[in-house]
Chains A and B, each alone.
Chain A
């Protein structure tokens, strides 16, 4: 059982949780969406700078647990420089990864192997169903921002 814990709280997750990357509010952000989990009070703002259909910058602020913070931090690194369409594919790939068994996951042909490997770090959350909302919170907010919406609730996971 402690193996499951190590799987969930991998070193890289603990690191991102403690030292989140892109934890800031970019001046030139032109999209933002709030992600909120009313159950535990986790709350993030995700900021996107979309230029010519490309995510030129992505950052976040807020407070949450190690899982939600690490996932938000890693999300910013992965989405940076992607087109809006690619970012959305990533969102769905990540969502499947957290919620579905491997054989049920859709094809993610468009996501390169290196990115997929990075996403896989979070897959330990599958063993902890109540924590899936933590892992997907900032991703939902990012996806909402992509679509010009101003908020996402983790209820929709």
Chain B
């Protein structure tokens, strides 16, 4: 993820794209919502890409084309289609490796989701290398997907979970992190970009400190890969996970990057077909990674879709996307700040384009229902990060998250709909 300086320099060097033309690639963005009985609806203002991003036609068509022309199971058949499908599938693995600058496509494991990728590490690496009293360090801003797998391991192995706090702006407390690292630390698992606060964590520094003690680090990059460049070698991440559907690709597909010497030492996560060398009832031997971790038929068509999504994002330019979203974030923050009684939660410098807020006297659930009637789609609730909601003492919040296709006019629509909420409630 780019920091503030990188965005500034990109702003000078990158040509902005025509967002209105880009929007034409996303058929769903042209629809209206709540039309009924001959009354026109409201244009959709989709500010929930942090939950899941919409898909460009290029992704939809790549999946359709694959299903219509080249579909077959992979890694199994000697027939023509099986070979064609396998080649296309494996080409995406290579593409994903390049996308995050992994040293080899052998480091890329396809999973069902970010959640499954973290569960894989917790179950395979965690069960093998952690024992009673060993410590895993998480942060206060983790999504439940990066909390609960470790709690399951805690219940089984009696490991200790330590939590890095953050300050009022949502900046990770690096001094506290240093203090938590100990001789018993066996793994650090921290988000690269908070799904609630937008905070981008200093991944490189987090990894460097852990590595001084020989401790591997996992980053949850679900929100980070979407908003800018990620270089797993530069960060020196040991594990890095992300999901396809927030990256304008299909659902049902996640990615686990792991350093190969770590993956090699890890036992299988699930057993089944496609992950074995030989099976007998006397004993079964397993393939090398990544196959070892890909039991069963994978989501083949979805992988093809992710490949198209990565092509799309790269054609638009990841720096250009970062600059565009940074502008939206600044503009939306400015406009929202003018609303009396509105408090933004998460004001870390260099944050991603995610704005969570509370409105005095109005519950987020009510805000969500009312702005929805104006066509504005936002997320309300605790965003699968309950400990963080408690930390900021705001309980549930409203979250507007921006994607590459959003516009300033949409930020304006959000602000207008919030004015209507205030009028409604006399707040």
Contacts and interface: CB of A to CB of B under 8 A. Distances in A.
B376 interface: no
Contacts of A63: 395
A5 B373 contact: yes
Contact of A131 (B42, B369, B389, B425): B369
Contacts of B366: 9, 65-67
A81 B361 CA distance: 32
B333 to A, nearest CB: 25
B380 A40 contact: yes
Interface in A126-148: 128, 130-131, 134
Contacts of A8: 369
Chain B interface, DSSP helix/strand/loop, else mixed: mixed
B12 interface: no
B363 A2 contact: no
A40 B364 contact: yes
B362 interface: yes
A68 B365 CA distance: 10
B395 A41 contact: yes
A41 B362 contact: no
A42 interface: yes
Contacts of B39: 1
A66 to B, nearest CB: 5
Contacts of B369: 5, 8, 128, 130-131
B373 A41 contact: no
B84 to A, nearest CB: 44
B311 to A, nearest CB: 36
Interface residues of B, number: 24
Contact of B365 (A2, A4, A134): A134
Given A40-B365, A40-B382, A5 B389 contact: no
A65 B363 contact: yes
A41 B34 contact: no
B363 A64 contact: yes
Contacts of B380: 40
B396 interface: yes
Interface in A21-78: 39-42, 63-69
Contacts of B386: 41
B36 interface: yes
A67 B275 CA distance: 52
Interface string B17-38: 0000000000000000010100
B381 A5 contact: no
A84 interface: no
Contacts of A89: none
B375 to A, nearest CB: 9
A9 B361 CA distance: 15
A29 B128 CA distance: 52
Contacts of A67: 365-366
B48 to A, nearest CB: 14
A131 B364 CA distance: 12
A31 to B, nearest CB: 27
Contacts of B426: 14
Contacts of B370: 5, 9
Interface of A: 1-2, 4-5, 8-9, 14, 18, 39-42, 63-69, 128, 130-131, 134
10 contacts: A1-B34, A1-B36, A1-B373, A5-B369, A5-B373, A8-B369, A40-B380, A40-B396, A128-B369, A134-B365
